Structure 1
Amino acid sequence: MPTALIADDEPNLAAELAERLTRFWPELTIVGMPRNGIEALAQINATQPDFAFLDIRMPGLDGLKVAGLATGTRVIFVTAYDEYAVEAFDASAVDYLLKPLSDERLLRCITRLQREAPAPAPVVLPQLAKDSGPIRWLTVGLGDTTHLVAVDDVAFFQATDKYTEVVVGDKRHLIRTPLKDLALRLDPERFVQVHRGVIVSLAAIEHVQRDLLGRLRIHLRNRSDTLPVSRAYAGLFKQM
Structure 2
Amino acid sequence: MPSALIADDEPNLSAELASRLTRFWPELQVVSMPRNGVDALAQLNEKRPDFAFLDIRMPGIDGLKVAQLAPQVRVVFVTAYDAHAVEAFDASAVDYLLKPVTDERLLRCITRLQQQGGASAQDAATVGASLAKEMTPIRWLTVAVRDTTKLVSIDDVQYFQATDKYTEAVTREHRHLIRTPLKELLPRLDSEQFVQIHRGVIVAYAAVDYVEHDLLGRLRIHVLGGDTVLPVSRAYAALFKRM
Q: Structure 2 length as normaliser, TM-score?
A: 0.52
Which residue is 1:111 aligned to?
109
- Identify if the C-alpha distance between structure 1 residues 155 and 209 changes in structure 2 by more than 3 Å, giving closer, same or farther: same
- Aligned counterparts of 2:209 and 2:16: Cα–Cα separation in 1: 32
Give the letter aligned to residue 210 of structure 2. H
**Unpaired stretches in structure 2, ≥5 consecutive residues:** 1-10, 34-48, 54-75, 77-93, 95-106, 114-127
The alpha-carbon deviation at position 223 of structure 1 amounts to 2.0
Contact 1:135 1:187 survives alignment (8 Å): yes
User: Is residue 195 from structure 1 mapped to residue 193 from structure 2 by the alignment?
Assistant: no
Matches within 5 A, 1:118-137: 130-131=131-132, 132-137=135-140
Which residue is 1:143 aligned to?
146
- Aligned counterparts of 1:18 and 1:217: Cα–Cα separation in 2: 41
Which residue is 1:186 aligned to?
189
Secondary structure in 2 matching 1:140: strand
Which residue is 1:37 aligned to?
none
- Aligned counterparts of 1:20 and 1:192: Cα–Cα separation in 2: 30
Which residue is 1:236 aligned to?
239
The alpha-carbon deviation at position 191 of structure 1 amounts to 0.5
Bigger relative contact order (CA 8 A; separation at least 6): 1
% identical equivalent positions: 50
Matches within 5 A, 1:83-94: none
The alpha-carbon deviation at position 205 of structure 1 amounts to 0.9
**Unpaired stretches in structure 1, ≥5 consecutive residues:** 1-12, 22-52, 55-75, 79-92, 116-126
- Aligned counterparts of 1:183 and 1:226: Cα–Cα separation in 2: 21
Secondary structure in 1 matching 2:192: coil
Which residue is 1:26 aligned to?
none
Contact 1:19 1:139 survives alignment (8 Å): no
The alpha-carbon deviation at position 105 of structure 1 amounts to 6.8
- Aligned counterparts of 1:218 and 1:150: Cα–Cα separation in 2: 23
Contact 1:159 1:198 survives alignment (8 Å): yes
Match of 1:172 among 143, 152, 175: 175
Secondary structure in 2 matching 1:130: helix
- Aligned counterparts of 2:156 and 2:15: Cα–Cα separation in 1: 17
- Aligned counterparts of 2:31 and 2:228: Cα–Cα separation in 1: 42
The alpha-carbon deviation at position 142 of structure 1 amounts to 2.5
